[in-house]
A and B are shown apart, each in its own frame.
Chain A
């Protein structure tokens, strides 16, 4: 049977393209819209739709826990971001100033925590920093004659910064070091000839030249940290105590899928998610304008 070329082309295009459009619509676009819709309902364990307008949002802003979860979110995002950027910068600066093969080997090692299944990483960190006498660091301290330290009870934020930071720093290290390696060597040689110290070179040449990459990372990482809770869920799960590390997205998760009495509150949980969604959207638009995120993103992709 002869198929006209124009029609054949149309069939070909649709057959190749449609699966991706269907999948992305059903499992990504529809759920996004559905989340907004659910936030306007009282959907709970009975799974019945009752439209209640903005009542979930009113309830949220009156909830005494709201202040706590916003505060936890700010601490979590700011702290992890500082760790990721700082450590990533340190790794990038060190690995670009030593032998090249050794430098890329160290960066590859830092990818390891990111590649490990999140559960294994979380279990390891929980054991190393366990407040019990059986925790790894505490066994080391005890064998040296010291008293066990209640790591995750007392230093829960630094603990979470470390758990998350080892994942995030590998990304920033790769972005920053590829940026540093693309700085024309003439600049640095010229500065060295003029007698500038390494510290001055880093401060006056390297940092200003990679500032857009740092800005890109900070922007991108803020967005992903706002909605990330996997490692908190796997380690401290909002504790110790009352909501001390309960970030907004984790609170939404607990409201919907938690094991306490408050769970299966899908409508209420969706209102928190929607607020995060809106914050994310506003931030993206600002970033897009200020940092011209699109251009930077394409640039970073090339590596």
Chain B
């Protein structure tokens, strides 16, 4: 019996290590954000969050301050990208997935497999062409351009996941509603949509987080700092001021993370289901 016990203890030790590893970086970030020393973790202070008062970084140093946009503007841009992405993906994928799930039409299989292939192609290979296209359309250096591209990239996953949700709902309800004289659109909007709410929530959550954290598109397509999102601001701050005031980078990152952590805690179950379809390496 003693042997089994040792094996079990070992198992739980490894489990403990596994549980600690991903949490350590986050704990370090929090400690640094409240640190008195600008580069080391030392003491506790709230002064790193002073920028929240006016939105200005380095408020006491006009030379530095002029380099960076107001963080409330950056927050607004980040939010617009996230919510724009979430709304558009949900709107377009929930309607398309319903038709693909319920109706037979010419090209259905082709369409469905195209979405699968498109989902498999990482957006990074399209950047050059997208840059050229956005430039031609006059959407370069605009938030709208980034939202449109981001939404298109997240769309195939949305269609596939929501099709799965529609597929799992039996036909009887719809057929009886149609027989009762409800219009096709009425069946979709009043009966089906409420039934796939969990799927819509999952896709909305995923797309929101995906837009909120987006870096490459913003970095590539946006040049003016007033159009920056948090990802650009933090990246730029880290490369320019990382050696001088890392605690500021950490405190700004922590503000950036608040919605992520809240949504992660609320929707972790949904995200696990979607991770299977995720595109990150």
Contacts and interface: CB of A to CB of B under 8 A. Distances in A.
B131 interface: yes
Contacts of B188: 16
A177 to B, nearest CB: 10
Given A23-B92, A175-B276, A31 B257 contact: no
A38 B220 CA distance: 18
Q: Which of the listed residues A28, A109, A231 has the most CB atoms from chain B within 10 Å of its own CB? A: A28
Interface residues of A, number: 98
Contacts of A114: 275, 278, 280
Interface in A99-140: 102-103, 105-128, 132, 134, 136, 139
Nearest to B161: A301
Contacts of B22: 109-110, 112-113, 166
A230 interface: yes
Nearest to A127: B246
Contact of B12 (A17, A98, A118): A98
Contacts of B46: none
A32 B15 contact: no
Interface string B1-36: 000000100011011001101110110110010000
B122 A228 contact: yes
A89 interface: no
Contacts of B95: 15-17, 19-20
A44 B131 CA distance: 12
A216 B23 CA distance: 28
Interface in A4-26: 8-9, 12-13, 15-17, 19-21, 23-24, 26
A29 interface: yes
B156 A24 contact: yes
Interface stretch (B51-59, B61-69, B196-204, B210-218): B210-218
Interface string A243-279: 0000001001100110000000010011001001100
B184 A29 contact: no
B125 A253 contact: no
Contacts of A73: none
B234 interface: yes
Interface string B124-168: 111111111101000000000000110111011001100010000
A27 B148 contact: yes
| Chain A interface SS verdict (over half) | helix
A277 B122 CA distance: 10
Given A168-B281, A223-B120, A256-B131, A117 B126 contact: no
Given A32-B121, A256-B128, A124 B29 contact: yes
Q: 6 closest A-B pairs (Cβ-Cβ)? A: A27-B152, A117-B213, A20-B96, A31-B129, A34-B129, A227-B122
Given A17-B105, A28-B156, 9 more contacts: A17-B100, A28-B118, A30-B129, A34-B133, A80-B281, A171-B280, A227-B121, A256-B127, A273-B125
Interface of A: 8-9, 12-13, 15-17, 19-21, 23-24, 26-32, 34-35, 38, 43, 47, 80, 90-91, 94-95, 97-98, 102-103, 105-128, 132, 134, 136, 139, 164, 166-168, 170-171, 174-175, 198, 221, 223-225, 227-231, 233-234, 249, 252-253, 256-257, 266, 269-270, 273, 276-277, 280, 284, 297, 300-301, 303
